[in-house]
Amino acid sequence: MDNLEKVMQVFEKANQPLNSKAVQEATGLDKKEVDKLIKKLKDAGKLESPKRCFYQPKA
């Protein structure tokens, strides 16, 4: 499993929007790497941002 899949799994398991710090703690990845992966998932249309700096999977 690559890091992109790890980050997406964290979002799918959470029942609330998460910020990058929460994802970083759950995956153990570097913050810059998490931010890059979140941006990639958001650009791909898999994540949405209900409020500033928090993300959740698109319904």
Q: Residue 36 carries which side chain, given as an amino acid letter?
A: K
pLDDT in tens, 20-51: 999 999 999 999 999 999 999 999 999 999 99
Produce one character per residue of 1-38: b if its CB has 16 or more CB atoms within 10 Å, e if not. eeeeebbbebbeeeeebbebebbbebbebeeeebebbb
What pLDDT is stored for residue 39 in this prediction?
Answer: 98
What pLDDT is stored for residue 14 in this prediction?
Answer: 96
What pLDDT is stored for residue 59 in this prediction?
Answer: 79
pLDDT at residue 11 above 90?
yes
- Ordered structural domains, the chain, with CATH: 3-57 (1.10.10.10)
What pLDDT is stored for residue 1 in this prediction?
Answer: 79
- The dihedral through the CA atoms of 32, 5, 22, 52 has a sign that is positive
pLDDT at residue 2 above 90?
yes
